[in-house]
Amino acid sequence: MKIHEYQAKVIFAKYGVPIPKGYPAFTVEEAEAAATKLVAETKSPVVVVKAQIHAGGRGKGGGVKVAKGGAAEAKELASKILGMQLVTHQTGPEGQKVRRLYIEQGLAMERELYLGAVVDRDRRRIAFMVSPEGGMDIEEVAANRPEKIMTVHVDPTVGLSPYQSRKLAFFLGLEKHGKETVAKFTKLMAAFYELIVKEDCSLCEINPLVVLKDGDVVALDGKVNTDDNAEFRHKEWDTLRDTDEEDPVELEAKQTGLNYVSLDGNVGCLVNGAGLAMATMDIIKHAGEKHGVAPANFLDVGGGATQEQVTKAFKMILSSPKVKAIFVNIFGGIMKCDVIANGVVAAAKELGLTVPLVVRLEGTNVELGRKILNESGLAIQAATTMVDGADKIVKAVVGGAK
């Protein structure tokens, strides 16, 4: 799950990661009130108005503005940013609508650095990455100047060691700012590591991490993604979810107990088993690459899905206007082929299916499943193998596009 910057900073503060003062705002009036409060608290007229969306690159897209004239200027900027369709390199050309703002104090910065952490699944450890060249162009640094990035892996049986934090500090050149700055960074790293472990983060990023003129080290930005597999340990996550920015179909799938991820292609996929689902997407992409045919979703109905869940899964696929054909690929083990067949038939009839449908069934009750499909009265193309099914679905999409 992704959360907004202002929510991430509440978590940062909980663990002792230094952050600037700031307040969320959902209206222009709230933004003005937050700016007024900050000016009074900090004795400075400089505040920053930040768009809150689940995407990076907000500054380049015009979603982060500095107001040097206090609350009046902050109000003017808030009125321009709130409600805008913010386009960044992570939103795609359609952008995301700004519904929330974060009003934050302005700081006198000396340097901008980068600090991030992810779960390295190959090594089964948390990997910390730092760069002395933080800010809006960190992707360019990673692509063209990888020597400017240092990575340290943390042994989970030992935890983050102080020497590892100092190693990162010296790579960043923090000793130039004095021993106190190195000590503050080491303390921040300890808090950051504790946060990542206890909050079950899959990604945690501070870009930029800034060194102030007084030598303090502060998280000027914050990005936190949590591991959905740990949701049972964190009931509070429901209060952090922004349903306006999450895919409504993915939310529905989660509530139904299905694994669904929206993609940008035009072939709906209904498959049982995550591995088979990924293989199905790969083979569709391979077969249709020259024709602009690609999967429109990842959908794993699992090994114990009911007919009702299969019917709902079909509805989810057809809710996307991008879908030009559907490929059902089922290997019946725990999941019986006749259950899938009944769900497909029920959903197709209820929704008035108008797009081509290719079905490949193998495994438990396969003959019964095929009989159900054959006697359904629907125009279903049977496939004998995955390759056969991919070829047929590509031809169906290409033929329908003519």
Burial class (CB in 10 A: 0-12, 13-18, 19+), 145: exposed
**Cα–Cα distance for residue pair 270/39, rounded to 1 Å:** 55
Closest by alpha carbon to 245, among 80, 96, 92?
A: 96
Task: Work out how many domains the chain is built from and give that number.
Answer: 3
| Same domain assignment for residues 330 and 199 | no
Residue 284 buriedness (CB in 10 A; 0-12 / 13-18 / 19+): buried
d(CA 353, CA 348): 5
Examine the domain organization and report whether 205 and 334 are in the same domain.
Answer: no
* Residues 271 and 213 reside in one and the same domain: no
Which of 197, 229, 246 is a domain's end point?
A: 246
pLDDT at 336: 82
Catalytic residue among 73, 104, 205, 260: 205
In 288-301, which positions are buried (b, 16+ CB within 10 angstroms) versus exposed (e)? beeeebbbbbbbbb
Structure tokens at 98: 């700004």
User: In CATH, what number is assigned to the domain containing residue 200?
Assistant: 3.30.470.20
Report the percent of the chain where pLDDT is more than 90: 63
Same structural domain, 5 and 146: yes
Shared domain for 211 and 279, answered yes or no, is: no
Residue 114 appears among annotated catalytic residues: yes
In SS3 terms, the chain reads as CECCHHHHHHHHHHHCCCCCCEEEECCHHHHHHHHHHHHHHHCCCCEEEEECCCCCCCCCCCCEEEECCCHHHHHHHHHHHCCCEECCCCCCCCCEECCCEEEEECCCEEEEEEEEEEEECCCCEEEEEEECCCCCCHHHHHHHCHHHCEEEEECCCCCCCHHHHHHHHHHHCHHHHCHHHHHHHHHHHHHHHHHHHHCCEEEEEEEEEEEECCCCEEECCCEEEECHHHHHHCHHHHHCCCCCCCCHHHHHHHHHCCEEEECCCCEEEEECCHHHHHHHHHHHHHHHHHHCCCECEEEECCCCCCHHHHHHHHHHHHCCCCCCEEEEEEEECCCCHHHHHHHHHHHHHHHCCCCCEEEEEEECCHHHHHHHHHCCCCCEEECCCHHHHHHHHHHHHHHHHC
Out of 77, 106, 135, a domain closes at 106
Q: Are residues 222 and 257 in the same domain?
A: no
Q: For 148-175, write each residue's pLDDT tens digit.
A: 999 999 999 999 999 999 999 999 999 9
**Which one of 246, 279, 302 terminates a domain?**
246
Place of tokens 């035009």: 266
Contact 34, 25 (CB under 8 A): yes
| Domain that residue 305 falls in | 248-401
Same domain, 262 and 386: yes
What CATH number did the domain enclosing 83 receive? 3.30.1490.20
* Low pLDDT (below 70) residues in the chain: 303-305, 334, 400-402
**What sign has the CA pseudo-torsion 358, 363, 364, 367?**
positive
Name the catalytic one among 102, 114, 193, 260.
Answer: 114
CATH of the domain at 346: 3.40.50.261
The sign of the dihedral angle between the CA atoms of 385, 387, 393, 396 is negative
Residue 402: per-residue pLDDT: 47
pTM: 0.78
Q: Are residues 217 and 75 in the same domain?
A: no
236 and 253 housed in the same domain: no
Same domain, residue pair 35 and 161: no
Known active-site residue 205 = yes
Burial bucket for residue 149 (CB in 10 Å: 0-12, 13-18, 19+)? middle
Span 52-94, pLDDT tens digits: 999 888 988 899 999 999 999 999 999 999 999 999 888 878 8
Other beta carbons within 10 angstroms of residue 251's beta carbon come to: 13
Q: Are residues 219 and 368 in the same domain?
A: no
Residues 232 and 129 in one domain: yes
The pLDDT assigned to 401 comes to 55
